[in-house]
Structure 1
Amino acid sequence: MFTSRLTLLWLLALPVCVFTAFFLMPLGVVLISSLSTQDGQFTFAQYGRILMDGYHWQVIGVTFRLAILSTLICVVLGYPLAWYLVRIVKWRNWRRTCVILLILPLFTSNIVRSFGWMVLLGRTGLVNDALLGAGLIDRPVRFLGTETGILIGLVYILLPFTVLTIGNALARVEPALEEASRDLGAGAARTFFSVTFPLTMHGVMAGGIIVFSMAISAYVTPALLSGGKVTVLAMLAFQQYSTVFDFNYGGALSITLLVFTMALIGFSSWLARLGAQDMKGN
């Protein structure tokens, strides 16, 4: 018994040390820096500077608006695509091809993909040319330097994560449960909302949390597609570290982003659990 416990402790020691060294310690350094002045004195002044200034709330609003919209759009687009791959595609080779095409962009740097969207979304880019050719617009639309352009880039980059997580959840749903619902007189829509969707809610939540976490901390895509005209919190923190060299203020921005993110994720998870319980109850 003692030997098995000692072996277990040794097995846990390495991951705990890695987690402490590469996650907890850097986070602790940032937290201490955010609560200190340049002279090393303890202070909450950096947080007061953030929370009492309207500009910072505007940046926080833009950051969370882009992250929430990216998450919602990815879930709305990702669920039908996951349904197509799991439930509709019967030919295994075609399903594999679709999955490869879906994850292939993930092997490319975000910088390269963002530069690609800069070309596509330009005034003479493919998107404007297509819209002009279809007669949907009379003159080129300005995408770059706007929240719309950033949103398009974020959705393109993050959509595969929702498709994969929702598809995995759909694959685990037993078809017999849906067949039983239809045999009891439920239509396709009621079967989906009463049986299928609640059983895949964990996949939707997992994909949404992944997308939201990556979107809210994204720097490269907003920085390139905004052209400096739209600022998110990650860009503001990076400027403090790389240009101004105000590590205390940059640390406070980073911790503020982390706290707001965790609070919103926790709140949305609580709402999702309540919704899932109501669906199962009905």
Structure 2
Amino acid sequence: MSSKVSMALKLIALPFLFFLAFFLVPLSVVLTSSFLDPSTGGASLANYAKVLLDQYHWDVILTTFRIAFFTTVICLLLGYPLSWYLVRIVRSPWWRRACIIILVVPLFTSNIVRSFGWMILLGRNGLVNDALRYLDLVQRPVRFIGSEGGILIGMVYILLPFVVLAVGTALARMDRSLEAASKDLGASPARTFFHITFPLSLPGLASGAIMVFALAVSAYVTPALLSGGRVTVLPMLIYQQYSTVFNFNYGGALSIVLLVFTLGLIGIANHIGRVKGGN
């Protein structure tokens, strides 16, 4: 028994040390610095007051979470049908593998490269504007770069695979006999979907939504490149404080505010999901 316990402790020790060294220690350093006032050298809430009592910072926070919210919603609306197509519609194994490869390969490309690609596509003389004008949908070029719409396009493109893979896994593991039983009892396909299939796929949908939201709210590269300097999100402000201004105390307060707000919203979403699931 003691040998099993020691073996379990050894297996747990390495992940715990990794978590301690690369998450808890850096987080504690950021948290500590956020409460320090560089002018006095003592503890202070001045950095948090600067963030939370200023309208500019609230505008940046609202912009950050608005973009993350709409990115998540669009990814869910596009990702669920695509997952359904790959799992339930596609019959050819080679075509399914090809679709998954096409979906996953962009994840191995740097966000910088993908964002620069979208800058070219969404520019005033880019492929998107040329196509819109060719189809007579617009008379003048649409300004995508420097708008929240352009950022949303880039973010959805980058984060959509996470929803597709999460929902696809949930659909693939689902017990199809439950759907067959529902149909045998006379339920219509729509009723079977909304009462059997969709509820059983909600865990995958929720995990995909959490991943997309967390990545979208903390994204820096894509908003920085596609914003054109006209839209500011909180990660851009944090990066500026750490890399340009070198105000680590103020940057730490911004980082903790972003972390607390993100975890709070995810916690609220989880609670709502449990309550509805219980009902």
Indicate whether the TM-score tops 0.5. Answer: yes
Instruction: Provide the C-alpha distance between the structure 2 equivalents of 1:135 and 1:274, rounded to a whole number of angstroms.
Output: 48
Q: SS of the counterpart of 1:218? A: coil
Instruction: Provide the C-alpha distance between the structure 2 equivalents of 1:149 and 1:40, rounded to a whole number of angstroms.
Output: 43
Instruction: Provide the C-alpha distance between the structure 2 equivalents of 1:103 and 1:10, rounded to a whole number of angstroms.
Output: 35
Contact preservation (8 Å) 1:201, 1:276: no
Counterpart of 1:253?
A: 254
Gaps of 5+ in 1: none
Matching of residue 190 in structure 1 with residue 191 in structure 2: yes
Counterpart of 1:277?
A: 278
Count of residues paired in the alignment: 278
Runs of 4+ in 1 over 4 A off after TM superposition: none
Instruction: Provide the C-alpha distance between the structure 2 equivalents of 1:28 and 1:260, rounded to a whole number of angstroms.
Output: 17
Instruction: Provide the C-alpha distance between the structure 2 equivalents of 1:272 and 1:127, rounded to a whole number of angstroms.
Output: 38
Identity %: 62
Gaps of 5+ in 2: none
1:30-179 equivalences under 5 Å are 30-38=30-38, 39-179=40-180
Instruction: Provide the C-alpha distance between the structure 1 equivalents of 2:271 and 2:131, rounded to a whole number of angstroms.
Output: 43
Contact preservation (8 Å) 1:35, 1:43: yes
Aligned letter for 1:151? L
Once the two structures are TM-superposed, the CA of residue 32 in structure 1 deviates from its matched residue by 0.1
Once the two structures are TM-superposed, the CA of residue 33 in structure 1 deviates from its matched residue by 0.4
Instruction: Provide the C-alpha distance between the structure 2 equivalents of 1:206 and 1:105, rounded to a whole number of angstroms.
Output: 21
Once the two structures are TM-superposed, the CA of residue 6 in structure 1 deviates from its matched residue by 1.6
Counterpart of 1:7?
A: 7
Q: SS of the counterpart of 1:173? A: coil
Counterpart of 1:28?
A: 28
Q: SS of the counterpart of 1:227? A: coil
Aligned-pair Cα RMSD in Å:
0.8
Instruction: Provide the C-alpha distance between the structure 1 equivalents of 2:264 and 2:25, rounded to a whole number of angstroms.
Output: 22
TM-score, length-normalised on structure 1?
0.97
Aligned letter for 2:171? L
TM-score, length-normalised on structure 2?
0.98
Counterpart of 1:209?
A: 210
Q: SS of the counterpart of 2:118? A: helix
Contact preservation (8 Å) 1:122, 1:143: yes
Once the two structures are TM-superposed, the CA of residue 274 in structure 1 deviates from its matched residue by 2.3
Once the two structures are TM-superposed, the CA of residue 40 in structure 1 deviates from its matched residue by 3.0
Once the two structures are TM-superposed, the CA of residue 3 in structure 1 deviates from its matched residue by 2.0
Instruction: Provide the C-alpha distance between the structure 1 equivalents of 2:149 and 2:219, rounded to a whole number of angstroms.
Output: 15
Instruction: Provide the C-alpha distance between the structure 1 equivalents of 2:222 and 2:9, rounded to a whole number of angstroms.
Output: 42
Instruction: Provide the C-alpha distance between the structure 2 equivalents of 1:40 and 1:30, rounded to a whole number of angstroms.
Output: 15
Instruction: Provide the C-alpha distance between the structure 1 equivalents of 2:26 and 2:226, rounded to a whole number of angstroms.
Output: 29
Contact preservation (8 Å) 1:213, 1:261: yes
Once the two structures are TM-superposed, the CA of residue 187 in structure 1 deviates from its matched residue by 1.3
Aligned letter for 2:13? A
Counterpart of 1:18?
A: 18
Instruction: Provide the C-alpha distance between the structure 1 equivalents of 2:26 and 2:243, rounded to a whole number of angstroms.
Output: 17
